[in-house]
Structure 1
Amino acid sequence: MTEFTTRPEILGTFGVVTSTHWIASAVGMAILEKGGNAFDAAVATGFVLQIVEPHLCGPGGDMPAVFYSKKKDKVEVICAQGPAPAGATIEHYTSEGLKLIPGDGLLATVIPGAFDGWMLMLRDYGTMSVRDVLEPAIYYAEQGHPMLARVSATIKGLASFFETEWPTSYATWLPGGVAPEAQSNFKNPVLAETWKRLIAEAEAKTGRENQIEAARDAFYRGFVAEAIDRYVSTAEVMDASGARHKGVLTADDMANWRATVEAPQTYDYHDWTVAKTPAWGQGPVLLQSLALLKGFDLSAMDPAGPDFVHVVVEAMKLAFADREVYYGDPDFAQIPTEYLLSEGYNAERRKLIGSQASLELRPGRVPGYDRQFDLTMGMLAEVSGKGAVYEPTMSHLTEKRGDTVHIDVIDRWGNMVSTTPSGGWLQSSPIVPGLGFALNSRAQMFWLKPGLPTSLEPGKRPRTTLTPSLALHQGRPTLVFGTPGGDQQDQWQLPFFLRYVHHKPNLQAAIDMPLFHTTHFPGSFYPRTSQPGNIMVESNIGADVLAELRRRGHQITVADPWSVGRLTAARRDADGLLRAAATPRLMQAYAVGR
């Protein structure tokens, strides 16, 4: 049977790059053409995405990556998720009259992690220089890039707020007092100058690795950190709480932090092994969902039918409920990940998946964690509201909230990278004077109640939603994939992966199938709301399927066709054939290769 796809699955043997913007994908491919490897290409692609999708990521953001290095013959994770500053205490935030950390502004900022993560990747796994990977971004910041319609709409919607409250953002995003129109040529010359100065400081040293270390120093212990410190120490800006607050991030916080390389969390599912971030990210929820779904005959189900959607959604509700109670920074709390992935635990949890939709948040009980369970559930009952306000990636939701980007790269040597950069959106906080970029708002992941894995503490990593994926087939690194979308990231990756494993479409066909997700559990983003029993489903799944899901008790929000998710994926076959695909949704993502 011929598979329906909106685009061809890209095939080749030299290299493939797929990302959430066509220009960024082309830049990554150009790096491969110049002799760079997958890591060089991922770094250059990441910096360009900060320019062309500024509403989704920026230099002040964060970046996790899961990757396979052919040289090391090893799957690893880079954690470039910056932790909370030394001054970020529950006592300080509650003294400001806050019950939740605002979703924007300076109090929501943690240490910017992305730049150090990119430089770590470049130094230890790449081959190129700082100049090589930054020059494409400098070009588009200096010479301009086509303004996306969604970015134009975001800026126009925030114009009066920027003018009144965040004048540095007004000057950057509305040059001359005029919001850029869609498809106009937009420039960020101040950011271009920041990168050029950083390259100059790097090239004052000799040797590739010394230059990369000098670039890291310039950002975290030099002129970039100094500019951030000057601004944050004096600025008092309006945020989502409706009040003005000063931030707590300092140059000392930045100087004392570095990105790290660590082992992934993995789970074996049939003849695949999926590698994700540990529980400082939400990655293990996909693994928990797989552990639950291993007991169902998904191969016998229609991959776009009501049985499939129902079972997958109910499994995700259980996995995400556990995320709320047990996930957090493993450096600060004991995370019972192995227990949560164990067969005995999931055999009991699997019994909760019945014929009707669940309407309650049902985390499991882990021995020795009763106090944490009770504390979390009591806190959620106290602060969580109703109504979904998640980090959206769908075109039918508000343009004013930030989101994320994604990159997958495989080179001719077999190196593989999956990375989901985010944060530092143009909506997240004001532009730092003299730098041309904003800080992040990742601290909103923390709770202002002590005693939880996700309680705010200095030096602790927020439980990020960023969750790239790498899968090994019969022990061989084979597939990288991911998507933007906050709490929805693993919810869109899961049906993609299940369909690919059980029904064996090509990558593009698997991405093109109708998508769905639930807003049943508390969102990770301010104001941390939920919609018990709700699922959003693309209408092209069919009226009969929607009717049957309603009969089973699901509260359905019908989305327009081709409006949910921004998946990309790339694969390397055992014989060296490379494959890549990108979603047609929003008409931005593209896969390239040869």
Structure 2
Amino acid sequence: MTSFTTRPTLRGTFGMAASTHWLASATASSVLERGGNAYDAAVAAGFVLHVVEPHLNGPGGDLTAIIKAAHQQSPRVLMGQGPAPAGASIEHFHAEGLHLIPGAGALAAAVPGAVDAWLLLSRDYGSWELDELWQYAIDYARNGHPVLGQVATTIRTVSDLFAEHWPGSSEQWMPGGRLPVEGELIRNPAWADTMERLLAEGRSRAGADGDREARIEGVRSAWAEGFVAREIEDFVREPHRHSSGTDHAGVLNRDDLRGFRADWEEPATIDFRGHTIVKVSGWSQGPALLQALKILDGFDDDDIDPSTASGAHIVLETLKLCLADREAYYGEDMPVSLLRTLLSDAYAAGRRAQIGAQASAEFRPGAIDGHPAYRPQLRTGAQLRIGALAQAVSGAAGEPTVRPNGEVRGDTCHLDIVDSQGNMISATPSGGWLQSSPYIPSLGFCLGTRLQMNWLDPESPSALVPGRRPRSTLTPTLVIREGEAVLALGSPGGDQQDQWQLLFLLRMLVGGYGQQEAIDAPAFHTTSMPGSFWPRTWEPGGAVVEDRLGDDVIASLEARGHRVTRAGDWALGRLSSVGRDPETGVLTAAANPRGMQGYAVGR
């Protein structure tokens, strides 16, 4: 298939930023122009994303990122995923009459991790004061920003839930009962007040002699141990409606926030076609991408072209195997030796041999000595009266598919930044959506629902355990060649994030596409795995494809047994990416045209 682009891959030598919203990309560019480095730019842009994409992320959510600093040899993972609260036990949920963790409501809230992670990044790798970095987000929150059409649509979808059960959300997002209209200015002055109060308390805690690092640490303490933690605990004690249709109080309290700090971790990596692919480790879904590349590395180039019928078939079958392993083995307590086995050449060869000429509709985790594969209860959307088509395309566009009860899928932001020194970051903030739990008027944000990634089954490697992180879908990617970072990429999309990134990497590293070409190329993904989001259904043999893949290719996939749902010409994926050529110093950037929201900027 002949490739083309909707816009050029940007090229320059000064700095590049790409994200899911033009205001965040422009903010990052502004920081770079004023002398900040890539990590200053990321922090400023990240807090802007909290304000301008409130249906996709927020301060009450979580964050994972991968960085490669120019002065350091190894990449690092920025871990901003909070754990389950002390009161969030399987027994408590069962006592509440729940057998799945709801997709909306504060009972599903993990400890918020995004804010502290951004602060840690600023402390360790940034150069600017926080009040400079936060001025962009404070201005948009206090003085307003033009609301996205998708934000307005999301609010409209859950307007009855807001009006009947979440009065604080109703007052914030539809004051006077009026729904917002795309393009009108919306404000969140309560969050602006919270940010300014945090800055003031940070200065106070640091004292007159405190330096920049001390002031940042002061803000971290004010967030985790001060008024924010107190207000959260007081607010969630009041029972409220959850996506289950029942009312529950949250269990998150100030001790939970006090006990969490974001941290730096070692990544998981593999080598693929002369490149090192860097992902978050096995408490995320990131290694599934690494497993897929290991399996596909055993095929000839022409066999894994995603634009051909045979290539698309092989990729879909590979993804089913890797995502089955995700469900069977991934979790915070995954032994290092188990992950090493999953990423080994021998294991990949065994899984490769399981790919047949016809599509599989089975759940097929691999067999590993000493590690029984967990098999969750598998239910289709039809069994839950959701409907196969709605299940198959839920979240397919990378924008959240929201139901009136607040249930959401495929909801995340992303940003990638590189500066002239070669500092690079790929970051995926998420959670704390405006529809995930009631708005806290005294703070100006909502809590996330990341605990819905957990199973209420103690046999699962991702079982709910107090103090343990849920298995996250957040999965940024960094690519390194000969010790230098050459690509940062990522995408919203829940369970689809690594699936769409896999297509991008195959097209760039194997097919020779440029960045924008790889983003624009027709996308697809499998739904033949248990979903990470409530109500945790799957579609055996399901595949969602963009129509631009072509009638002949789609017909061939159907003939091979894939249960295909057409999503439209431009519906799947919201990838962004930046790059750097170490030999020339030329920087590149590209962003997704679907939804007319993501943009790359730079010079």
Give the TM-score of the pair, scaled to structure 1. Answer: 0.96
Structure 2 residue 576 is matched with structure 1 residue 583:
no
Structure 2 residue 354 is matched with structure 1 residue 352:
yes
Q: SS of 1:47's equivalent?
A: helix
- What residue number does 1:481 align with? 489
- What residue number does 1:341 align with? 343
Q: 1:545 to 1:557 in 2, by over 3 A?
A: same
Deviations 1:555-589 (A, max 9, x none): 11001111111000111002110000001000000
Conserved? CA contact 2:519–2:592, under 8 Å: yes
Deviations 1:172-225 (A, max 9, x none): 111232111111111111111111111111233331101100111111111111
CA distance in structure 2 between the aligned counterparts of 1:354 and 1:322, rounded to whole angstroms: 18
Conserved? CA contact 1:390–1:523, under 8 Å: no
Q: SS of 2:367's equivalent?
A: coil
Q: SS of 1:430's equivalent?
A: coil
Corresponding letter in the other structure for 1:103: G
Q: How does 1:456-467 map to 2 (within 5 A)?
A: 456-467=464-475
CA distance in structure 1 between the aligned counterparts of 2:268 and 2:29, rounded to whole angstroms: 29
Corresponding letter in the other structure for 1:347: A
CA distance in structure 1 between the aligned counterparts of 2:401 and 2:5, rounded to whole angstroms: 29
Q: SS of 1:203's equivalent?
A: helix
* Displacement after TM superposition at 1:107 (Å): 1.0
* Displacement after TM superposition at 1:396 (Å): 8.9
- What residue number does 1:231 align with? 235
Q: How does 1:9-20 map to 2 (within 5 A)?
A: 9-20=9-20
CA distance in structure 1 between the aligned counterparts of 2:518 and 2:161, rounded to whole angstroms: 41
* Displacement after TM superposition at 1:270 (Å): 1.6
| Alignment equivalent of 1:247, drawn from 235, 246, 250 | 250
Conserved? CA contact 1:130–1:202, under 8 Å: no
Q: SS of 1:536's equivalent?
A: strand
- What residue number does 2:324 align with? 321
- What residue number does 1:199 align with? 199
Q: SS of 2:347's equivalent?
A: helix
Conserved? CA contact 2:283–2:332, under 8 Å: yes
CA distance in structure 2 between the aligned counterparts of 1:34 and 1:571, rounded to whole angstroms: 21
Deviations 1:217-274 (A, max 9, x none): 11111111111011123x1011011100011100010001111101100011120110
Conserved? CA contact 1:102–1:108, under 8 Å: yes
Conserved? CA contact 1:50–1:57, under 8 Å: yes
- What residue number does 1:110 align with? 110
CA distance in structure 2 between the aligned counterparts of 1:535 and 1:561, rounded to whole angstroms: 15
Worse-superposed segment, 299-308 or 468-477: 299-308
Structure 2 residue 395 is matched with structure 1 residue 392:
yes
CA distance in structure 2 between the aligned counterparts of 1:189 and 1:432, rounded to whole angstroms: 12
Deviations 1:336-369 (A, max 9, x none): 1110111111111111111111110100011101
CA distance in structure 2 between the aligned counterparts of 1:334 and 1:165, rounded to whole angstroms: 45
CA distance in structure 2 between the aligned counterparts of 1:396 and 1:411, rounded to whole angstroms: 28
CA distance in structure 2 between the aligned counterparts of 1:177 and 1:588, rounded to whole angstroms: 27
* Displacement after TM superposition at 1:2 (Å): 9.1
Deviations 1:45-79 (A, max 9, x none): 11001111100000000000011011223200011
CA distance in structure 2 between the aligned counterparts of 1:275 and 1:299, rounded to whole angstroms: 25
Corresponding letter in the other structure for 1:284: P
- What residue number does 1:185 align with? 185
Corresponding letter in the other structure for 1:360: E
CA distance in structure 1 between the aligned counterparts of 2:578 and 2:416, rounded to whole angstroms: 6
Question: Gaps (5+ residues) in structure 2?
Answer: none
Q: SS of 1:380's equivalent?
A: coil
- What residue number does 2:168 align with? 168
- What residue number does 2:451 align with? 443
- What residue number does 1:530 align with? 538
CA distance in structure 1 between the aligned counterparts of 2:304 and 2:473, rounded to whole angstroms: 29
Q: 1:588 to 1:393 in 2, by over 3 A?
A: farther
CA distance in structure 2 between the aligned counterparts of 1:532 and 1:105, rounded to whole angstroms: 29
* Displacement after TM superposition at 1:106 (Å): 1.4
Deviations 1:409-433 (A, max 9, x none): 0011100000100000001000113
Q: How does 1:119-138 map to 2 (within 5 A)?
A: 119-138=119-138
Q: SS of 2:112's equivalent?
A: coil
Conserved? CA contact 2:380–2:539, under 8 Å: no
Structure 2 residue 233 is matched with structure 1 residue 256:
no
Q: SS of 2:250's equivalent?
A: coil
Structure 2 residue 60 is matched with structure 1 residue 60:
yes
Conserved? CA contact 1:333–1:453, under 8 Å: no
- What residue number does 1:409 align with? 417
Q: 1:512 to 1:383 in 2, by over 3 A?
A: closer
Deviations 1:364-399 (A, max 9, x none): 0111012xx2xx22x424899674378715179734
Conserved? CA contact 1:298–1:502, under 8 Å: yes
How many residues in Structure 1 have an aligned counterpart in Structure 2? 587
Q: SS of 1:553's equivalent?
A: coil
- What residue number does 1:564 align with? 572
Worse-superposed segment, 150-159 or 485-494: 150-159
Q: SS of 2:377's equivalent?
A: helix
Worse-superposed segment, 291-300 or 315-324: 291-300
Conserved? CA contact 1:327–1:335, under 8 Å: no
Worse-superposed segment, 397-406 or 537-546: 397-406
CA distance in structure 2 between the aligned counterparts of 1:176 and 1:104, rounded to whole angstroms: 24
Give the TM-score of the pair, scaled to structure 2. Answer: 0.95
CA distance in structure 2 between the aligned counterparts of 1:88 and 1:571, rounded to whole angstroms: 41
Deviations 1:249-308 (A, max 9, x none): 000100011111011000111201100000110000000001110111124655411111
Deviations 1:500-528 (A, max 9, x none): 01111110011110000010000000000
Q: 1:238 to 1:334 in 2, by over 3 A?
A: farther
CA distance in structure 2 between the aligned counterparts of 1:68 and 1:516, rounded to whole angstroms: 30
Q: SS of 1:586's equivalent?
A: coil
Q: 1:581 to 1:381 in 2, by over 3 A?
A: closer
Structure 2 residue 519 is matched with structure 1 residue 511:
yes
Deviations 1:1-30 (A, max 9, x none): 995210111101000000000011000110
Q: How does 1:29-44 map to 2 (within 5 A)?
A: 29-44=29-44
Worse-superposed segment, 24-33 or 334-343: 334-343
Structure 2 residue 213 is matched with structure 1 residue 209:
yes
Worse-superposed segment, 79-88 or 297-306: 297-306
Conserved? CA contact 2:39–2:126, under 8 Å: yes
Conserved? CA contact 1:153–1:399, under 8 Å: no
Structure 2 residue 452 is matched with structure 1 residue 471:
no
Q: 1:382 to 1:556 in 2, by over 3 A?
A: closer
- What residue number does 2:559 align with? 551
Question: Gaps (5+ residues) in structure 1?
Answer: none
Q: SS of 2:595's equivalent?
A: helix
Conserved? CA contact 2:394–2:401, under 8 Å: no
Worse-superposed segment, 293-302 or 476-485: 293-302
Conserved? CA contact 1:390–1:524, under 8 Å: no
Deviations 1:446-491 (A, max 9, x none): 1111132211111100000000000112332111000000000000
CA distance in structure 2 between the aligned counterparts of 1:175 and 1:135, rounded to whole angstroms: 26
Aligned-CA RMSD value:
1.7
Conserved? CA contact 1:391–1:487, under 8 Å: no
Worse-superposed segment, 515-524 or 172-181: 172-181
